Chains A and B, each alone.
Chain A
Amino acid sequence: MIEFRIDRRSGVATYLQIVQQTKQALRLGLLEPGDRLPTAREVVEATAINPNTVLKAYRELEREGLVEARRGLGTFVRKSLVGAATGSPLGRELTEWMRRAHTTGLDRESVAALFQAALDEEFPEGEQ
């Protein structure tokens, strides 16, 4: 059962943090289709946040088609996000780029910095 970590100081809305962490879990394969998400009660007991927030997050995930709520049973994962990364053309391009960067002589930190800068440029924080 995954657990959510809520950072109240991060400036990101609580329900968004849940949505993002769920998606991350889906990408990493920690959650697969058919797995049950923790109930609102379980989340709330562990994180002491408002139950409304959890419901809002789950509705958002349902709206995106990633989960579905089954009455009386809980909320279950519907779609996986694994493989959206490595198998795709984008993934292959990235692996290729990594090899070139390595050959050029860049170290790990420099690559990470390059990557972070490009990421921030294209996907500013806080937006979807």
Chain B
Amino acid sequence: MTYEGAALEAAGLDMKYGRSSNHVLRDCSFRLPTGRICALVGANGAGKSTLLALASGLLRPAEGTIRMLGGTPAEVRERFAYVAQSKPLFPQLTVAETLRLGAELNPRRWDQAAAERIAYNDGPEPGARIRKLSGGQRTRVALALAFGKRAELLLLDEPMADLDPLARQRLTGALMAETVEHGTTIVMSSHVIAELEGACDYLFLLGSGRMRLAGECDEILAAHRRLTGMQGEFGQHTVIEERGAGRGRTALVRPNGDTDAGSWDVEEPSLEEVLLAHLRNPDAPDLRTRSATPAPRLEAAV
């Protein structure tokens, strides 16, 4: 049942809205191995929602291919789940009826117990109407539908957006707990980087229509260093961002070779630092780890 290839793979994705020449996505390629909990970050309007909609088969790309779990989104419809940012639900149904919706529409794989665990755990009553629920309760019900499906891949568009900090922590915990048993792959788009840092082990930074950073969080962090010191030039290292610091300078770099520990104070940056630096500097070169590179045959098919 577990798929051993890529949970999500795309090559050359191109998408634009209407007749405008503004490309939301342009030559976007990436790969997500299974079993990861991936953060999809980017500025507003960077195309995160579009990318998730493309991955879910709700949109057709203008160009390029996207595959998930070894097939097209239409083929594997039963094996993945998607929750849109607005957490769409039918306002006139009750919570219990909404869970029944899940059971009725996913006849072959529905886990009522898992869905109820997420939906009712300090959430709403079964008889409550959706239109009367608070934002946090709606999110719980929407996630319950995604979980009851026993999906191998979850695509969540800003799932924690309307939640207070406590609800966010609880829900993220519930999400993580459900993945422990089944090795589910999760892609969560979000703005709140600090919270994602603990939960996510994979990162996609979307900007200028393509993946600017893609890969394991550990590897990405290991590839960056903050150098601070009085020496003027940063030499052979790739500078992402550079600023003044008192009488000297500090820079976030990708080291090419040894960072001379003598003349610089070398620190490992936090994930938030790396992301913010890249967001502030759109011209910084892309970085993709091995596992985040789509297979050659997929690229060739474009």
- A residues contacting B by CB (< 8 A) are 6, 8, 14, 39-42, 44-53
Contact = CB atoms under 8 A, between A and B. Distances in A.
Contact of B174 (A40, A45, A51): A45
B15 interface: no
A45 B181 CA distance: 12
Contacts of B200: 50
Contacts of A40: 180
11 contacts: A8-B197, A8-B198, A44-B173, A45-B173, A46-B173, A48-B169, A49-B176, A51-B179, A51-B180, A53-B198, A53-B201
Contacts of A48: 169-170, 172-173, 175-176, 195, 198-199
Given A44-B180, A50-B176, A6 B198 contact: yes
A35 to B, nearest CB: 21
Contacts of A44: 173, 176-177, 180
A45 B121 CA distance: 12
B245 to A, nearest CB: 19
Interface in B163-209: 169-170, 172-177, 179-181, 194-195, 197-201
Most buried by A among B177, B197, B201: B177
Contacts of B169: 48
Given A44-B173, A45-B173, A50 B198 contact: yes
Nearest to A52: B201
Nearest to A40: B180
B37 interface: yes
Contacts of A47: 173, 198
Contacts of B180: 39-41, 44, 51
Contacts of B194: 8
B35 to A, nearest CB: 9
B16 to A, nearest CB: 35
The winner among B169, B174, B197, B199 for most chain A CB atoms within 10 A is: B199
A39 B180 CA distance: 10
Contacts of A8: 194, 197-198
A49 B199 contact: yes
A50 B201 contact: yes
Given A39-B180, A48-B195, A50-B201, 19 more contacts: A6-B198, A8-B197, A8-B198, A14-B198, A41-B177, A42-B177, A45-B177, A47-B173, A48-B170, A48-B172, A48-B175, A48-B198, A49-B176, A49-B198, A50-B176, A50-B198, A51-B179, A52-B201, A53-B201
